[in-house]
């Protein structure tokens, strides 16, 4: 008797949902906005003058439980300065075939160089295309920024950069970058400062 009642209750649930309105998402034609704290594709941020925030410390790679991040740090030279500190991330790769989007790399980053965006469309046709290189991860140059490498703002040190005292590229930095030409893969010749 109890088996029959359990089966009837189960059928009741089934019949109750059969007549409800079907909720169909029209993706990709209609994209729903993500939540503000959504963990999507990673972004390597820049300082307001265009220098990279990544110092090549490799803490993000150590924190990654899926072993999806590879960082190779290098020393900055006076003629080749990519970040305000002593080092920068020469090679930076994230393998999105392995990434679990947990955000531990973001928490480990001491300079807030690595953040996560709301971008979630990461489908590619091959596995190799899911390995994003540094040029794919770097934030785009905004107005007031010049592509690295270039010298730091005169009279400032790395502490001034991290305290937010640098607000944009100076004329000397713009002239230096224009003289050398854009080395940044995210910048075309048309966007180079004049």
Mean pLDDT in consecutive groups of 10 residues from the start of the chain, 194 residues: 84 85 85 90 96 95 97 90 93 96 95 94 93 96 92 91 91 88 45 37
Q: For residues 68 and 42, what is the distance between their CA atoms, to the nearest angstrom?
A: 12
Residue 187: predicted pLDDT: 42
Q: Coil, strand, or helix at residue 115?
A: strand
Domains and CATH numbers, the chain: 42-183 (3.30.70.3270)
pTM greater than the 0.75 cutoff? yes
Site of tokens 């607000």: 167
Residue 191: predicted pLDDT: 40
Contacts (Cβ under 8 Å, ≥6 apart) of 83: 51, 52, 53, 54, 55, 56, 76, 89, 148
Residue 182: predicted pLDDT: 56
């Amino acid at each position: 008797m109890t088996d029959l009642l359990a089966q009837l209750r189960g059928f009741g649930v089934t019949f109750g949902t059969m007549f409800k309105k079907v909720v169909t998402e029209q993706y990709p034609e209609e994209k729903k906005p993500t939540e503000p704290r959504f963990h999507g594709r990673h972004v390597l941020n820049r300082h307001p003058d265009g220098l990279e925030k990544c110092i090549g410390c490799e803490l993000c790679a150590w924190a990654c439980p899926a072993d999806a991040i590879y960082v190779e740090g290098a020393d900055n030279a006076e003629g080749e300065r990519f970040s305000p500190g002593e080092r920068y991330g020469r090679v930076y790769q994230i393998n999105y075939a392995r990434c679990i989007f947990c955000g531990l790399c973001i928490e480990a980053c001491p300079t807030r160089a690595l953040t996560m965006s709301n971008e979630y469309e990461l489908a590619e046709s091959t596995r190799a295309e899911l390995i994003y290189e540094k040029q794919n991860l770097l934030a785009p140059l905004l107005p007031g920024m010049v592509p690295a490498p270039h010298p730091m703002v005169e009279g400032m040190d790395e502490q001034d950069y991290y305290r937010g005292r640098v607000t944009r590229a100076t004329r000397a930095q713009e002239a230096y970058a224009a003289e050398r030409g854009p080395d940044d893969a995210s910048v075309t010749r048309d966007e180079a400062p004049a």
